[in-house]
Amino acid sequence: MKVKSLTDTVEKWAKRAADAGPDYEKGVKDSSVDWAGPTAAAATAYADGVSAAVSDGRFARKVSEAGTTKWRNKAQTSGVARFAGGVRDGKADYQKGMTGVLATLSGLTLPPRFKRGDTRNNDRVNAITVALHEAKIKG
């Protein structure tokens, strides 16, 4: 089978994908597809896939293949530019999520505080982590 060169294939993909932003936006905006229902119904398939990837070592292998250098480069070239906008766009979601956290924390009565270095102070931390975990599980 005759195929285009790797360079031509990559260049075409990069150009077409970069130009497709407006099409992507329109597709999402105009979609009548129920995303949540089928996605929730696929929970077992998702869990099976993640379990298989972990047990086969694929996750760790791909992390090793990518390495810290790739992570750092992508974080600096793409992540930095998107960070502030993502935080700004996520403000309402953060508020919604923190409502329960702050309600849980404000309802706690912590064990007494002891002198600095006293291991009984860990009971205060444990009370917080247990309460937050229980609230998360109740969700």
Domain segments of the chain: what residues?
43-89, 91-139
Q: Do the Cβ atoms of 104 and 135 come closer than 8 Å?
A: yes
CA distance 69 to 71: 5
Q: What pLDDT does residue 52 have?
A: 94
DSSP H helices in 5-79: 6-19, 21-30, 36-41, 43-55, 58-74
pTM, two decimal places: 0.64
Mean pLDDT across 15-30:
92
User: Which H or E run contains 111?
Assistant: none
Average pLDDT, the chain: 94
pLDDT digits (tens, 9 = 90+) for 85-115: 999 999 999 999 999 999 999 999 999 999 9
